Chains A and B, each alone.
Chain A
């Protein structure tokens, strides 16, 4: 019995040390990358790109499903992006509301004859709409049968003119300079082909938004979105930047990502039978490049290019995290041959195993650890002094990590100008491990349960409540 106990305890300890080591390592590499990006961005001049006739066409793909409330404003905001050569393709994925009718009316659209080249399979396209007004000449609306986000994106790729396309969530707010910043790495790289690029996603809850544009940045009033602000900062500024630098990035967020269309088509487009289509596509693209011995790179840009509404209720957040977990498991399972496969280089030997052990299995192992501790505590075998020390160790590490994420965010972007805002975030960082983290573990477990036991494949309900105003603005009104 004591041998088993020892094995279990040492394994837990090793796991804890490994995960914290990984976090530490990623934070150090991210800091270096962030510093480099921030410094270089000060002298980068985009005038050459913006005024050049050689700027490549970028197709902006915005799948929309029941977005009637915001679709018109969001398209207007997209039309205002700063880039010389882009088209917007809004894909109405069989909405049940009046999204299409509202769009047709707002932009004076009409059905046009269009010979579609189905390079990637997708649900039947019912019609292609273009505007009669010249000012909207770069807007195309596809009306198709419902097939999910991945299918909608595939339909968009089929009619996209550009060599590059951006997939976005139509309800997200895209930074007006996002396109030029995202395309830059594709032009800078000389030795490798850049196949995809992503940018930092930020939380827009409580921020002031006018006509689809972000006017003022605020810290969310509610606790849950505030926790997500810290979580996103940790994930993007202390994780993905490092993976990008080490060329091991497996995920480009579905909210904003720029892709090389040719590579996407060659590897079959978005996979429609998964809820984690964004990660699955990146892994498949990487595999395709590696299988064909082509040099490639997936990059992340440290600039905040996209603002999204974070779930502010437990139900919606739970559904989102459940889906993320199922998407992760699905991708890991679909590409299990990458695991520890030296053929896929860093992705096979480090990134994929990292996702298996520290993303997918983390909630399971954490829960098992808690369960194990409860059992040994009940049996009177627990070493309480060791428990308190370890609890303190992990708790303070978590807070330290979050505080550094807030610091990185502040030094890089200086988004939250008021001291009060930063203090609010710091306080949230102290509370988060007690209130928010256990929920994330629970939803992670539920995701595993739903994937393996219930075999759930649906997206679940993701209700948006619309960008809420900050409390002080409400008071003014």
Chain B
């Protein structure tokens, strides 16, 4: 019992499911009551008619009075709960599904469920709701709900009114303080004022909101200023003690706050960031993990990818792009990516193949060629691409031998590769492709042949000596640079 966790959404959902169920039960309850009223009224009318019929005409006036107590006192008609169970169920179709015993047992089960699943302080309220739900009419419940809806609408009105004002106030607040902080800090950075003056001019710097603005201003400066400012900006950040706020953010339960903290620390307080990043590179949240991995690369320029060996989850393509951008922009030294080709995560393997190609790591050729036999289509595709981009001429026969069993996309890549690494010996292969494969492959084969060498062009003209409309179109297609 003690270890049950209650999140607001779960609690709301639980309550709502319960409400629906109660509505259903009450509808059953209500229908039964209505049925019983109808049934009782029918019985009353039948007996009344029977009485009238059996009364002699001469006694009619008196008879009315005799029979009328049943009509005059309809309030005496018994409700469902007072009537015997068998009568109740005979007239209610739902009685087929639910007997009084069953309803009682459902009530009991609901109470037991509440006792087992709800927090101690909610239980008494819950039980009273259950008791009342079985007591009152469904109309009562709906009226309560209408009031709840109206209260909700009023609440939203107030929230809207408040947020409109608040948003506009916040915008103005941020604008004013951002401008002020930027001016003061720029004056300090450009030497117009000393630190003490600047510190005094940074008004309300101890307020949380203002500290967030200050951090944001410093982050902007850090992105836009280079040279001697690069060391000055983090200094201001630590002098103002803003790193404590960022560190606090990284410990937040909210992922977006964690990420904001990671970004700020990585840019402005790397020493602090290094301490926490290792714990976060395997964070369960994709969002936090991605940012932590990117931060790791920035914070460890000597061994930017050493975390690959510790990764428990795949290395997302989005992070790959961020990391690649970081390496490119900051011109970080890159390791030999062949060492990562055997890591169990396929997307690290694919990333490594891309990096080997981009950084032209020709020393890794033997490892790349092994990837031709990889199980994954995507890895083989990137291998063919690497063979093409690194111009691995000796691999022609290897990739041609794989052509037959490849996927359409990979076949296309093999044919494309032959454009750059192929020789006259490959003409026959390309001709076969132009005869037997689909239009995309035919076009690529024609392109490869055409641009491989002048001999390729001659060969194409030779084939086209008996004019073929299709070949003419293919040649025209590949020779138009816009296609």
Which chain A residues have a beta carbon within 8 Å of chain B's beta carbons?
2-3, 6-7, 9-10, 13-14, 17-18, 21, 24-25, 28, 32, 39-40, 42-43, 45, 47-49, 51-55, 112-119, 130-131, 137, 184, 186-191, 262, 383, 385-386, 389-390, 392-393, 396-397, 399-400, 403-404, 406-407, 410-411, 414, 417, 419, 422, 426
Bound together, the chains give a CA A55 to CA B409 distance in angstroms of 18
User: When A117-B439, A188-B290 are in contact, do A396 and B324 touch as well, CB less than 8 Å?
Assistant: no
Question: Do the beta carbons of A39 and B254 come within 8 Å of each other?
Answer: yes
Q: Are B287 and A389 in contact (CB under 8 A)?
A: no
Binds A, one of B43-51, B88-96, B333-341, B414-422: B88-96
Q: How far is the CA of A163 from the CA of B358 in the complex (A)?
A: 20
Residues of B whose CB lies within 8 Å of any CB of A are 9, 12-13, 16-17, 20, 23-24, 27-28, 31, 34-35, 38, 91-94, 139, 142-143, 145-146, 149-150, 152-153, 156-157, 159-161, 163-164, 167-168, 254-256, 259-260, 263, 286-287, 290-291, 313-318, 320-322, 324-326, 328, 347, 354, 358, 409, 438-440, 442-443, 470, 473-474, 476-477, 480, 482-483
Complex Cα spacing A386 to B31, Å: 12
Q: Which of A18, A21, A397, A419 contacts B164 (CB 8 A)?
A: A419
Chain B residue at minimum C-beta to C-beta distance from A416:
B164
Point out the residue from B23, B91, B314, B482 that lies within 8 Å of A130, measured CB to CB: B482
Taking a contact as CB atoms closer than 8 A, the residue among A7, A131, A191 that contacts B314 in the complex is: A191
Enumerate chain B residues within 8 angstroms of A422, measured Cβ to Cβ. Answer: 160, 164
Asked if residues B157 and A10 are in contact (CB atoms below 8 Å), the reply is no
9 pairs, CB–CB < 8 Å, chain A vs chain B: A6-B35, A10-B27, A28-B13, A48-B326, A54-B320, A115-B477, A117-B438, A190-B315, A397-B149
CB <8 Å contact, A404 and B156: yes
Contact B443 A403 (CB under 8 A): no
Chain A residues lying within 8 Å of B24, measured Cβ to Cβ, are 14, 17
User: In angstroms, how far is the closest chain B Cβ from the Cβ of A229?
Assistant: 15
A403 cross-chain contacts in B, Cβ below 8 A: 152-153, 156-157
A10 and B322 contact, Cβ closer than 8 Å, known pairs A117-B439, A399-B149: no
A404 proximity list for chain B (CB < 8 A):
152, 156
Residue numbers in A under 8 Å from B314 (CB-CB): 190-191
Nearest chain A CB to B36 CB, angstrom units: 11
Q: Is the CB of A187 within 8 A of B9?
A: no
Please give the distance in Å from B186's CB to the nearest CB on chain A.
24
CB–CB B482/A137 < 8 A: yes
Instruction: Describe A's contact surface by its main secondary structure.
Output: helix
Please classify the interface of chain B as helix (H, G, I), strand (E, B), loop, or mixed, using the class held by over half of its residues: helix
Query: A386 to B139, Cβ gap below 8 A?
Result: yes
Instruction: Report whether B145 and A7 are in contact in the complex, using a CB–CB cutoff of 8 Å.
Output: no
* Complex Cα spacing A45 to B260, Å: 12
Cβ–Cβ contact A396 & B146, under 8 A: yes
A400 to B324, CA, bound (A): 48
Q: By the criterion CB–CB under 8 Å, are B23 and A112 in contact?
A: no
Q: Hey, which chain B residues are within 8 Å of A17, CB to CB?
A: 20, 23-24
Which of B143, B161, B320, B474 is in CB contact (< 8 Å) with A115?
B474
List of B residues within 8 angstroms of A18 by Cβ: 20
Cβ–Cβ contact A52 & B149, under 8 A: no
How far does the alpha carbon of A404 sit from the alpha carbon of B153 in the complex, in Å?
Answer: 8
Given A2-B38, A32-B9, A21 and B16 touching (CB < 8 A)? Answer: yes
A115-B473 contact given A43-B260, A390-B142, A399-B153, CB 8 Å threshold? yes
Residues of A within 8 A of B259 (CB): 40, 43
A392 with B440: CB separation less than 8 A? no
Complex: A94 Cα to B325 Cα, angstroms:
44
Q: A54 vs B385: C-alpha distance in the bound complex, in angstroms?
A: 13
| Separation of A118 and B316 alpha carbons in the complex (Å) | 34
Top 5 closest pairs, chain A to chain B, by CB: A113-B476, A117-B439, A48-B325, A39-B256, A396-B149
Are B153 and A400 in touch, CB under 8 angstroms? yes
A43 touches B256 (CB 8 A): yes
| Contact of B480 with A113 in the complex, beta carbons under 8 Å | yes
Contacts of B159 in A (CB 8 A): 407
Contact B149 A115 (CB under 8 A): no
Question: Across the interface, which residues of A come within 8 angstroms of B291, CB to CB?
Answer: 43
When the two chains form their complex, are residues B146 and A13 in contact, meaning their CB atoms are under 8 A apart?
Answer: no
Cα-based distance from A53 to B24 in the complex (angstroms): 59
Which residues from chain B contact A187 at a C-beta distance below 8 Å? Answer: 316-318, 321
Minimum distance in angstroms from A412 CB to a CB of chain B: 11
Query: Other than the known A113-B476, A403-B157, what 9 A-B pairs have Cβ atoms closer than 8 Å?
Result: A13-B27, A21-B20, A39-B255, A47-B325, A54-B354, A187-B318, A399-B153, A410-B164, A426-B160
* Known interface pairs A113-B476, A187-B316, A188-B286; A410-B150 also in contact (CB < 8 Å): no
**Closest approach, in angstroms, between the C-beta of B357 and any C-beta of chain A?**
10
A182 to chain B, nearest CB (A): 13
Residue in A13, A24, A188, A410 whose CB lies within 8 Å of B316: A188
Tell me if B256 and A40 are in contact (CB < 8 A). yes
Q: Which residues of A contact B477 (CB under 8 A)?
A: 113-115
Chain A residues whose CB sits within 8 angstroms of the CB of B164 once the complex forms: 410, 419, 422
Q: Is B146 within 8 A of A389, CB to CB? A: yes
Report whether B145 and A393 are in contact in the complex, using a CB–CB cutoff of 8 Å: yes
Q: Are A407 and B146 closer than 8 Å at their CB atoms?
A: no
